[in-house]
Amino acid sequence: MGSEAQFRQAVMAGDAARVQAMLAAEPGLAAPGRGDGADPVVLAARHGRVAVLRLLLQAGGVAQPEGDPAGPPTALMAAAAAGQEEAVALLLEHGADPALRDRQGRTAADLAAAAGHHALHRRLATQAESERMLR
């Protein structure tokens, strides 16, 4: 198994110590851009691995404020759809844009609502509206 696959396993398992050690040895493992929704940040967000997510964000796991609407769902969208409130909060702190839309035109708030995470939907909808007003 290659180092990327081992790294993804550590991310999904929430093994922060192993992720930190692997990043120290090979910082490029945190890099975004796989384009298939398996970016380490997306995986950590979807699975609610907040300690690992924090490490990845600090290591530059997102190149710019969270995501490309033309690409796969952003980490914020993945976390919202999975109801991962702590991951959503951390991503917002790190500049995630709740107003971004996926290829079907859905925001993170829309994905949270569709999955039945209504409190998260309300929070993200409010955040997205704030983002639109600032632009």
- Domain range enclosing 99: 3-134
Give the domain CATH number at 19.
1.25.40.20
Do residues 127 and 108 touch, judged by C-beta distance below 8 A?
A: no
Q: Which helix (H) or strand (E) holds 79?
A: helix 75-81
Instruction: Indicate the number of domains in the chain.
Output: 1
pLDDT at 65: 44
Q: Which residue numbers in the chain have pLDDT < 70? A: 1, 33-36, 63-71, 130-135
Whole-structure pTM value: 0.87
